[in-house]
Structure 1
């Protein structure tokens, strides 16, 4: 399976199963389009007819191009056959170990964001703060169920996890005390709205957290429209200086400024550029997932402009990179030379198998987006997984288990999509959320184009040196 598209002056051809990306001229692009449908002899005749008045393309050129394409096919870089479907069956039966927990340390928040999937941090339940005893047991549960995994990940999440600051520090200290004994390495991630950031908190986060995610939606009017305090006041002016100071002190350690775009700001590249101009160079911007009846919901009617925005983003990133003013966009981080192993590309995030969310009461869910849905309560940190059949369903959900993914060229980049988004959009973890698929495919196209442009620039630079 191949995917061809033209963007920013490049003719790009992706071979799905080998992962090879080719940048070709117009003649090769046309021939590749025809290659599986007619014979090389018929292609030669057709191209000669089409270019009989074009002195720049000779019969020799056409023959050479056809030969080059045939060589790529023989080398397994074009029209590669799918050899992974049987592997997906094997992966369903594999034994999995837990390597990451999302600790919902705070089912409460000091903001009242309209679009919050967690219902302003309460997850449609009672407000709560995780006790150290529950956090301690969560660490023990992870150690007991981590198997061969040496690197273990803990995400501190909420609500707003800074509202459980004492518990966070105690959990980190306890986990660190167990590393040497169990020969494990803990990596912590922290997501915050920034309202409670202080010098003491900043120092601790920069010492202990492998990654920190800072929530900011972009321009002041955009951010303050939906990310407000309980009394309806915007939070932009309060958090931006805190975030700037935090990142300055963080140095070269990992962080992301993460925003959400909605139907209110389909021109979301202006928010991304605003964030970059504030001095942040690691940025993520996600489409809102919400009830389609909400006034700020994104719809299929927005897709043409969303596609346009991702193209604007890609070309601006190339421009800023050439000016040494570049920034990283999370969804354009695509490693074309190595990237994730094929098992990861088939199975995805591992929610419910390798990754679990823990509530303040110690209840287990496949991930934070399932929390509060009792149908997807999997057990608890004392008794373990009490619904192995649910875990089995999640393990079997991948890009080969969904009929809609069969002919999708991007399936090995999305692994079949987010099970939680599928559930909320279709009522099934094995459903496909078409809107999300459309957005994802566009992001992959744009990210590949950015990588192509960067590679071409490097080649030109090497040739000149």
Structure 2
């Protein structure tokens, strides 16, 4: 039985993550639980019948369900998600871009390379008896700028005998013809858009230096008119923390978007070079929680990838197990954010290559080494109440020059937000959280 007690003001949150159960207790009840060691027949309960009955009523004495399994080091790699980094070209110059998009010589993924990746994951999905496979366009540039290849690969995937779910992570800077084509041919869009005009124009300018707010707002309105499924990802810098609530209020009032992902600008790429990474974690947490409450009041869901109490997992991200991710240069990576051979973490995350003959080569030893590092890191998290949610956290943000076992301020941020979300869930449940949540969140 996994039980965590989390100090909260002068009391404690008693939390059983696998059971999806949480409530607030005083020190006396916490001490009683420690004595019982989760045993409802413990003699020490004889003098505490009322506490015993309360715990029984809420299902506290029930056993944990089976935990999410940990991936096997020796399991075969049969991904059913194709992730294509089409290009390093970008028509934006976002101040925090992890890939410094548009600053380097342009590399484009050949059409034939994309086809081979699609072929492989489609076959894996068919062999597994799945009803569909997935195709995601992503990468260190703007995928839709590789217009011809993008469209040909969408058509190629659609022509497969197995249905395909197709999505793109995009800045949304499309003309009317591009917009119509994307909304006609894709299933989902993950749109990067940072909120009110002042923030969007400052943080996500066009390559020309002009603001992008009005153009992207028209893309959002077009998706709303079509009732097209999309989510919005907002990135927060030190400068934009204090207006995050205003941005979410605006988006809830003026758009039909149902899901918002909020992430701090991380210290990679342009953010590292120019000092635009977010450093005020406590202010970010407060702003996030305010934004969460605003979104909830509109019936929308808002989340941050490091704090996901509704997720039970043994791995922060499923990409290393489920996705075949290819860079424009033909390298196979285990992470959406490790995009090029010269990335500082490429040695940890690059797991193979697509050769000139279209053959996929997986470096089994490199993959096993990555899995070992992920598991070594997570093992050190066993005493943390985020263990089954954060699961060691995002490796691209936690692996560093200090190694893969470094735990920094992001851990404190994850715990702070997770704790405050649990309090909200408990309040919504009239004192007890039993697994329901205001919305359905994403993974990362």
- 1:213 and 1:10, CA in 2 relative to 1: closer, same or farther beyond 3 A? farther
Q: Deviations over 1:296-351 (max 9, x none)?
A: 2222xx22222322332343344x2xxxx321214499685xx55xxxx1133233
CA distance in 2, matches of 1:121, 1:388: 33
Kept in 2: contact 1:12–1:21 (CA 8 A): no
The two structures have a TM-score, normalised by structure 2, of 0.79
Query: Equivalences for 1:19-58 in 2 at 5 Å?
Result: 19-24=19-24, 28-37=25-34
Q: What displacement does 1:15 show?
A: 0.8
CA distance in 2, matches of 1:355, 1:295: 32
Question: What does residue 227 of structure 1 align with?
Answer: 204
Query: Equivalences for 1:179-190 in 2 at 5 Å?
Result: 180=161, 184-190=162-168
- 1:432 and 1:277, CA in 2 relative to 1: closer, same or farther beyond 3 A? farther
Higher relative contact order (CA 8 A, sep 6+): 2
Q: Secondary structure at the match of 1:409?
A: coil
Kept in 1: contact 2:381–2:392 (CA 8 A): yes
1:388 aligns with 2:384: no
Question: What does residue 14 of structure 2 align with?
Answer: 13
1:276 aligns with 2:252: yes
Question: What does residue 462 of structure 1 align with?
Answer: none
Question: What does residue 172 of structure 1 align with?
Answer: 154
Question: What does residue 50 of structure 1 align with?
Answer: none
Q: Secondary structure at the match of 2:14?
A: strand
- 1:277 and 1:310, CA in 2 relative to 1: closer, same or farther beyond 3 A? same
CA distance in 2, matches of 1:271, 1:265: 9
- 1:365 and 1:149, CA in 2 relative to 1: closer, same or farther beyond 3 A? farther
CA distance in 2, matches of 1:231, 1:207: 29
CA distance in 2, matches of 1:119, 1:418: 20
Question: What does residue 92 of structure 1 align with?
Answer: 73
CA distance in 1, matches of 2:225, 2:180: 12
Question: What does residue 162 of structure 1 align with?
Answer: 144
1:418 aligns with 2:394: yes
1:354 aligns with 2:322: yes
Kept in 1: contact 2:109–2:329 (CA 8 A): yes
Q: Secondary structure at the match of 2:314?
A: helix
Q: What displacement does 1:413 show?
A: 0.6
Kept in 1: contact 2:326–2:333 (CA 8 A): yes
Identify unmatched segments of 5+ residues in structure 1: 41-58, 460-465
Q: Secondary structure at the match of 2:260?
A: strand
Of the candidates 165, 171, 181, which is equivalent to residue 193 of structure 1? 171
CA distance in 1, matches of 2:109, 2:317: 25
Q: Deviations over 1:210-236 (max 9, x none)?
A: 320111111222222221122322211
- 1:95 and 1:134, CA in 2 relative to 1: closer, same or farther beyond 3 A? closer
Kept in 2: contact 1:399–1:405 (CA 8 A): no
Q: What displacement does 1:118 show?
A: 1.2
CA distance in 2, matches of 1:111, 1:66: 60
Question: What does residue 62 of structure 2 align with?
Answer: 75
Kept in 1: contact 2:93–2:205 (CA 8 A): yes
1:2 aligns with 2:1: no
- 1:176 and 1:441, CA in 2 relative to 1: closer, same or farther beyond 3 A? same
1:442 aligns with 2:428: no
Kept in 1: contact 2:223–2:229 (CA 8 A): no
Bigger CA radius of gyration: 1
Q: What displacement does 1:397 show?
A: 4.3
Q: Secondary structure at the match of 2:286?
A: helix
Of the candidates 304, 307, 327, which is equivalent to residue 282 of structure 2? 304
CA distance in 1, matches of 2:129, 2:427: 37
1:377 aligns with 2:377: no
Q: What displacement does 1:391 show?
A: 1.0
Q: What displacement does 1:360 show?
A: 2.4
CA distance in 2, matches of 1:10, 1:185: 52
Q: What displacement does 1:440 show?
A: 2.4
Q: Deviations over 1:428-451 (max 9, x none)?
A: 4x3345232223233333443444
1:363 aligns with 2:341: no
Kept in 2: contact 1:355–1:367 (CA 8 A): no
CA distance in 2, matches of 1:416, 1:223: 31
Q: What displacement does 1:266 show?
A: 2.1
1:133 aligns with 2:112: yes
- Aligned residue pairs, count: 405
- 1:101 and 1:272, CA in 2 relative to 1: closer, same or farther beyond 3 A? same
Question: What does residue 65 of structure 1 align with?
Answer: 51
Kept in 2: contact 1:282–1:328 (CA 8 A): yes
CA distance in 1, matches of 2:62, 2:246: 43
Q: What displacement does 1:256 show?
A: 0.7
Q: Secondary structure at the match of 2:383?
A: coil
Q: Secondary structure at the match of 2:178?
A: helix
